[in-house]
Chains A and B, each alone.
Chain A
Amino acid sequence: MSNKLGRTAAICGIGATEFSKDSGRSEMKLAVEAVSAAIDDAGLKPSDVDGMVTYSTDNNPDVEIARNVGIGALRHFSRVHYGGGAACGTIALATMAVATGAADVVVCYRAFNERSGRRFGAGVQDLPNAATAERAQFSYTSSQGLLTPASWVAMVARRYMHLYGATSEDFGRVAVAMRKHAATNPAAWFYNQPITLEEHQQSRWIVDPLHLFDCCQESDGAQAIIVTTPERARDLKQKPVMIEAVAQGAGKDQWTMTSFYRDDIAQLPEMKIVADELWSSSGLTPTDIQTAVLYDHFSPYVLMQLEEFGFCKRGEAKDFIKNGNIELGGDLPLNTHGGQLGEAYIHGMNGIAEGVRQVRGTSINQIPRVEHVLVSAGTGVPTSGLILGVDR
């Protein structure tokens, strides 16, 4: 049985700060700026907002943003766990709120100084110990030096390479495509800075088999997305962007980034659950997707996601991505904003915004005749995804 969330809500506004390495201001200020910009983009008044959703890892309380922006009473507020896996999950909760009448206009947001403040690339090395199951998830890896996101992903990537013959160059082709798309996006940190496959291969090891250019950026910035009913969206300033499907997923024997104890670690069963739900609830198939935003904190997981979503068979992503197939002009251009490897790491929220722009027809790297855009959230963790579509 699939969920009934499809086409019960639409995205009516997006807003962001600039993306940088040092914002020079508080995370709260970033949050307020992005939320305010999204309200303006939608053509709403702050007082129209009655719901707010963010990540459990966000440091900015919804009520404080509401106080700042002049948002009045809230009828729904919730948070989604698991880091970047929460990205489309915020839209899922907002959709549920809107579909059930728990709220009419829900702002989803993520704001952080993730480069100038605490850097996620540092992993868990600086987190205090605590006698909790949440913290003990890392008890079986930290003392051995497996402390960072790159190291956790590398362990899975090596097994994937072993099973399917994927190479570091295959990972590099993802990075090259993302940097190519960022190169023409003025909002991207790596605007005008494409890389070659050779440069990817020569970039230093972070955790073998991951080179520097396989690892996404660390960024400061904020992104907000506004969800409302399709009816309300049609009366607002922007062309409505329909949420055709939205889903969350956690897999069997799921860990946070260290799902090392499954029979097959070279898969993303949590993303397969999301994929199955998105396809079955929308009636769409991979051939209905003109462009996708696949979470790219580390390049190997882009290959694995292509397989989980069924764009190609298991182990064949390395062939699917060849010859520019995931670049502009290819069969499935990915992350046309440059992704988190090229634009910025805003924990996946900037990818949803790019999906919205592609449906609106306003992306800097616009794909012709976009009907449906697939967007996924953080990989290696309990995650989420959605399909955006043109209102008909």
Chain B
Amino acid sequence: MAITREGMTVSQVQQEPDADKKAFHEQLLGFVGVQTGPARLAPDEVNIPMIRHLVESVGDKNPIYLDDAAAKASRHGEIVAPPTMLQAWVMGGITPPPHPESYEQMNRLLFSKGFTSVVATNCEQVYDRYVKPGDRLSMTTTIDSISEEKTTGLGTGHFVTTRQDYWDADGNRVGSMLFRIIRFRPAAKSKPPRPLPATTHDNSWWFDALKEGKLLIQRCKGCGELRNPPHPMCASCRSMEWDSIEAKGTGSIHSYVVTHYPVVPSFEYPLPILLVDLDEGVRMVMNPIDAAPDDLQIGCKVTIEVNKCDPELSLPFARLAK
């Protein structure tokens, strides 16, 4: 009889291991077959009160677990424990003992590659016989298998399967369990895209040019005045005719802030933001590249480059002059 309790569904993406990955896996395989520590003795004999707690909590009405008469009439001839309690009899309680050293050695090796997170994926139990009140069980743990590096929706790591064998006082096996976890490096959380600008007939051309890597400055065709941000009419001569020039990409910091709160998930904080005087005489808000907040100073020269932030958004960024 085998019962499988399904853990979480994990989509596995097979990846061709490179030489390093292969070598690391070889190292891990050195732990396969190792029995981790001595047998752990159950704190209590198999007993009626614990059986009662379990069957009541899961709603198992089978009379052979609690009703003497029904149990006697069954093929067991006496009360037996529900087989799925196998693991429960030997559990470590509210403060479980530390993992044996050999198991921790394997963990440390996994941690060294950043596989620090853990999720239990599934377990399978096999029963050799029913256990019954009065049995005093013990358990041994053996590392059964360690997978190659796998990538799942959670991240990249190795599936580690241990086998727990459960023994009675006479040294006969009563059942065993395969217990699988994945030790993984959490996938980097993808940041939501930056807030998109509201685009209108009057400004969409400017943002479109940024997407092509160009930082443009609107120029009045009537009087030649440069203006930014874009708008439809020249405030100096009221011409609505305009073209644009490409910015040289040089300027200086007019003012700046370092935002800490509220935290908007599209950005990393503390988030510095600059108001930059372009050498052409217009002003723009932009983020600095590779600048610590302490580096910022009003008047500091910058060079400007256009970078893609998100699929739908490119923006000018300022690099501080050394």
A136 CB within 8 Å of chain B: yes
**Among B194, B198, B275, which residue has its beta carbon within 8 angstroms of that of A138?**
B198
Cα of A158 to Cα of B255 in the assembled complex, Å: 6
A202 CB within 8 Å of chain B: no
Chain B residues near A148 (CB-CB < 8 A):
259, 262
B278 CB to closest chain A CB, in angstroms?
A: 11
**Among A121, A136, A162, A209, which residue has its beta carbon within 8 angstroms of that of B199?**
A136
The answer to whether A147 touches B195 (Cβ under 8 A) is yes
**Among B198, B256, B261, which residue has its beta carbon within 8 angstroms of that of A205?**
B261
B287 CB within 8 Å of chain A: yes
The answer to whether A147 touches B254 (Cβ under 8 A) is no
B205 CB within 8 Å of chain A: no
The answer to whether B273 touches A265 (Cβ under 8 A) is no
The answer to whether A139 touches B229 (Cβ under 8 A) is yes
The answer to whether B298 touches A158 (Cβ under 8 A) is yes
B270 CB within 8 Å of chain A: yes
B145 CB within 8 Å of chain A: no
**Among A143, A145, A156, A206, which residue has its beta carbon within 8 angstroms of that of B271?**
A145
B88 CB within 8 Å of chain A: no
The answer to whether A204 touches B285 (Cβ under 8 A) is no
Chain A residues near B286 (CB-CB < 8 A):
144
B108 CB within 8 Å of chain A: no
Chain A residues near B287 (CB-CB < 8 A):
144-145
Cα of A207 to Cα of B272 in the assembled complex, Å: 9
B266 CB within 8 Å of chain A: yes
Given A206-B261, A207-B258, A208-B260, the answer on whether A145 and B315 have CB atoms closer than 8 Å is: no
B105 CB to closest chain A CB, in angstroms?
A: 43
Cα of A206 to Cα of B275 in the assembled complex, Å: 18
A145 CB to closest chain B CB, in angstroms?
A: 5
Given A125-B264, A143-B315, A146-B273, the answer on whether A158 and B256 have CB atoms closer than 8 Å is: yes
Stretch at the interface among A1-9, A21-29, A126-134: A126-134
Cα of A140 to Cα of B313 in the assembled complex, Å: 12
Given A122-B262, A206-B261, the answer on whether A136 and B256 have CB atoms closer than 8 Å is: no
A269 CB to closest chain B CB, in angstroms?
A: 15
A135 CB within 8 Å of chain B: yes
| Residue among A122, A142, A144 with max Cβ neighbours from chain B (10 Å) | A144
Cα of A253 to Cα of B229 in the assembled complex, Å: 11
Q: How large is the interface on A (under 10, 10 to 19, 20 to 34, 35 or more residues)?
A: 35 or more
The answer to whether A142 touches B258 (Cβ under 8 A) is no
Chain B residues near A158 (CB-CB < 8 A):
255-257, 298
B283 CB to closest chain A CB, in angstroms?
A: 5
**Among B235, B257, B264, B284, which residue has its beta carbon within 8 angstroms of that of A140?**
B284
B228 CB within 8 Å of chain A: yes
A251 CB to closest chain B CB, in angstroms?
A: 13
Cα of A122 to Cα of B261 in the assembled complex, Å: 9
The answer to whether B199 touches A139 (Cβ under 8 A) is yes
Chain B residues near A131 (CB-CB < 8 A):
198-201
Q: How large is the interface on B (under 10, 10 to 19, 20 to 34, 35 or more residues)?
A: 35 or more
B202 CB within 8 Å of chain A: yes
The answer to whether A205 touches B258 (Cβ under 8 A) is yes
B209 CB to closest chain A CB, in angstroms?
A: 14
Cα of A216 to Cα of B284 in the assembled complex, Å: 28
The answer to whether A143 touches B228 (Cβ under 8 A) is no
Q: Mark A135-166, 1 if CB is under 8 A from B, else 0.
A: 11011111111111001001110110010000
B293 CB within 8 Å of chain A: yes
The answer to whether B202 touches A208 (Cβ under 8 A) is no
Chain B residues near A151 (CB-CB < 8 A):
257, 259, 273
Chain A residues near B275 (CB-CB < 8 A):
155, 159, 260, 265
B321 CB within 8 Å of chain A: no
The answer to whether A261 touches B194 (Cβ under 8 A) is no
B130 CB within 8 Å of chain A: no
Chain B residues near A146 (CB-CB < 8 A):
257, 259, 273, 285
Cα of A22 to Cα of B203 in the assembled complex, Å: 40
B195 closest partner in A (C-beta): A142
Cα of A71 to Cα of B296 in the assembled complex, Å: 57
A204 CB to closest chain B CB, in angstroms?
A: 7
Given A136-B202, A139-B203, A261-B228, the answer on whether A162 and B260 have CB atoms closer than 8 Å is: no
Cα of A260 to Cα of B258 in the assembled complex, Å: 16
**Among B200, B255, B260, B271, which residue has its beta carbon within 8 angstroms of that of A155?**
B255
- Which 9 pairs from chain A and chain B are nearest by CB? A139-B197, A135-B198, A208-B258, A159-B255, A154-B257, A205-B260, A142-B195, A136-B198, A140-B229
15 additional A-B residue pairs with CB within 8 Å, beyond A129-B197, A130-B198, A143-B315: A131-B201, A143-B195, A144-B285, A144-B287, A145-B259, A145-B287, A158-B255, A159-B275, A205-B258, A205-B270, A206-B261, A208-B258, A208-B293, A260-B275, A261-B228
| CB-defined A-B contacts under 8 Å, sample of 23 | A125-B264, A132-B200, A133-B200, A140-B197, A144-B285, A145-B264, A146-B259, A147-B264, A148-B259, A148-B262, A154-B257, A159-B254, A159-B298, A204-B261, A205-B261, A206-B259, A206-B261, A207-B259, A207-B261, A208-B270, A253-B235, A261-B228, A265-B275
